[in-house]
Chains A and B, each alone.
Chain A
Amino acid sequence: MAKRKIQPKKKIETKKKVQIKKKVQAKKPKEVKFIGQATKLRQTEPTWVAEWPRSITHIHTYGMLSPFFRGLKEGKLMATRCPNSNCPEDRLWIPPRAHCPDCHTEMVWKALPNPVIGKIYTFTEVDYAGAGIELSTPYWQVDVEIPGLATIPKSYLLYGKPYIGMKVKAQFRTKRPTNTVLDYYWVPYEQ
Chain B
Amino acid sequence: MITFKEGNLRVPKWNRKVFVVAGGTTAYRKHFPEYKLEELVMMAFKNMLEDNNLKMDPLEVKGLINFATYGEFADHFQDQLLCEAKIHDYLGLDPLYNLGIKTGGATGGSSVLAAAMAVASGYANVAMAAGWERMDEVDTRTGNFYISTAACKDFETRLGRVYSSYYAPMANRFAETFHVSEITRAKIAVKNHLYACSSPYAHQAGKYTVEEVLASRMSAYPLRFLECCAMSVGSACVLLCDEETAYKLTDRPCELFICGGTHTLRVADRRPMEVPLLPHETPEMYKDLYSREGARYPGFESFLAARFAAWLVYRMAGIQNPIEDLDLVELHDAFTISDLQTYGDIGLRPYGQEQDYIESGDAYYINPHTGKPGKCPSNLSGGLIGTQHAVGATGIFQSAECLWQLQQKYDQFHGDPAIWKKWGKQKPKDWESLQIPESSKQALWVSHAGVGSHVTVGVLRKSW
Complex Cα–Cα for A129 and B170 (A):
17
Residue pair B219, A180 in contact (C-beta under 8 Å): no
Which of B8-16, B157-165, B375-383, B432-440 faces chain A?
B157-165
Complex Cα–Cα for A28 and B352 (A):
80
Contacts of A133 in B (CB 8 A): 160-161
Residue pair A95, B220 in contact (C-beta under 8 Å): no
Residue pair A126, B220 in contact (C-beta under 8 Å): yes
Q: Is B268 an interface residue (CB 8 A)?
A: yes
Contacts of B222 in A (CB 8 A): 124
List the 9 shortest-distance A-B pairs measured between CB atoms, nearest first: A130-B161, A130-B144, A124-B168, A130-B145, A122-B173, A125-B221, A122-B169, A131-B141, A95-B155
The answer to whether A129 and B160 touch (CB under 8 A), given A122-B300, A141-B165, A181-B155, is yes
The proximity string for B residues 172-193 relative to A, scoring 1 for CB distances below 8 Å and 0 otherwise, is 1100100000000000000000
The answer to whether A124 and B162 touch (CB under 8 A), given A62-B154, A95-B268, A131-B139, is no
Q: Is A169 an interface residue (CB 8 A)?
A: no
Residue of A nearest to B217 (CB): A128
Residue pair B268, A152 in contact (C-beta under 8 Å): yes
Q: Return the contact of B33 from the options A47, A151, A152, A165 (Cβ within 8 A).
A: A47
Contacts of B219 in A (CB 8 A): 127-128
Q: Is B271 an interface residue (CB 8 A)?
A: yes
The answer to whether A181 and B148 touch (CB under 8 A), given A124-B165, A129-B160, A141-B165, is no
Complex Cα–Cα for A143 and B173 (A):
10
* Interface residue ranges of A130-167 to B (CB < 8 Å): 130-135, 141, 143, 145, 150-156, 164-165
Residue of B nearest to A43 (CB): B33
Residue pair A130, B141 in contact (C-beta under 8 Å): yes
Residue pair A124, B221 in contact (C-beta under 8 Å): yes
Complex Cα–Cα for A186 and B95 (A):
57
Residue pair B176, A155 in contact (C-beta under 8 Å): no
7 sample A-B contacts, Cβ–Cβ < 8 Å, listed by A number: A62-B154, A65-B154, A102-B1, A124-B221, A129-B161, A151-B268, A152-B300
Shortest B1–chain A CB gap in Å is 6
Q: Return the contact of A145 from the options B141, B172, B225, B294 (Cβ within 8 A).
A: B294
Residue pair B173, A46 in contact (C-beta under 8 Å): no
Count, chain A residues at interface, CB 8 A: 43
Complex Cα–Cα for A47 and B34 (A):
6
Secondary structure dominating the interface of B: mixed
Q: B-contacting residues of A (Cβ < 8 Å)? A: 43, 46-47, 49, 52, 60, 62, 65, 88-89, 93, 95, 102, 121-135, 141, 143, 145, 150-156, 164-165, 180-182
Residue pair A180, B158 in contact (C-beta under 8 Å): yes
The answer to whether A129 and B165 touch (CB under 8 A), given A121-B300, A143-B268, is yes
Q: Is B267 an interface residue (CB 8 A)?
A: yes
Contacts of A49 in B (CB 8 A): 33
Residue pair A154, B33 in contact (C-beta under 8 Å): no
Shortest B174–chain A CB gap in Å is 9
Q: Is B356 an interface residue (CB 8 A)?
A: no
Residue pair B169, A124 in contact (C-beta under 8 Å): yes
Contacts of A135 in B (CB 8 A): 159
The proximity string for B residues 130-158 relative to A, scoring 1 for CB distances below 8 Å and 0 otherwise, is 00000001010111110110001111101
Contacts of B96 in A (CB 8 A): none
Residue pair A95, B154 in contact (C-beta under 8 Å): yes
Residue pair A143, B145 in contact (C-beta under 8 Å): no
Contacts of A123 in B (CB 8 A): 169, 172
Complex Cα–Cα for A132 and B300 (A):
27
Q: Return the contact of B162 from the options A65, A128, A150, A153 (Cβ within 8 A).
A: A128
The answer to whether A95 and B269 touch (CB under 8 A), given A131-B144, A181-B155, is yes
Complex Cα–Cα for A165 and B293 (A):
10
Complex Cα–Cα for A89 and B153 (A):
25
Residue pair A95, B152 in contact (C-beta under 8 Å): yes
Given known contacts A122-B176, A130-B142, what 4 new A-B pairs fall within 8 Å (CB)? A128-B220, A129-B141, A130-B145, A180-B158
Among A43, A95, A182, chain B packs the most CB atoms within 10 A around the CB of A95
The answer to whether A121 and B158 touch (CB under 8 A), given A150-B271, A152-B268, is no
Contacts of B164 in A (CB 8 A): 128
Contacts of B143 in A (CB 8 A): 130
Contacts of A122 in B (CB 8 A): 169-170, 172-173, 176, 300
Complex Cα–Cα for A28 and B144 (A):
51
Complex Cα–Cα for A135 and B159 (A):
8
Contacts of A155 in B (CB 8 A): 159
Q: Return the contact of A131 from the options B145, B168, B170 (Cβ within 8 A).
A: B145
Q: Is B441 an interface residue (CB 8 A)?
A: no
Residue pair A127, B218 in contact (C-beta under 8 Å): yes
Complex Cα–Cα for A151 and B3 (A):
17
Residue pair B217, A134 in contact (C-beta under 8 Å): no
Shortest B35–chain A CB gap in Å is 8
Shortest A121–chain B CB gap in Å is 7
Q: Is B266 an interface residue (CB 8 A)?
A: yes
The answer to whether A126 and B165 touch (CB under 8 A), given A95-B154, A141-B160, is yes
Residue of B nearest to A69 (CB): B154
Contacts of A181 in B (CB 8 A): 154-155, 158-159
The proximity string for B residues 203-226 relative to A, scoring 1 for CB distances below 8 Å and 0 otherwise, is 000000000000001111111010
Q: Return the contact of A154 from the options B156, B161, B176 (Cβ within 8 A).
A: B156
Among B143, B221, B222, chain A packs the most CB atoms within 10 A around the CB of B221
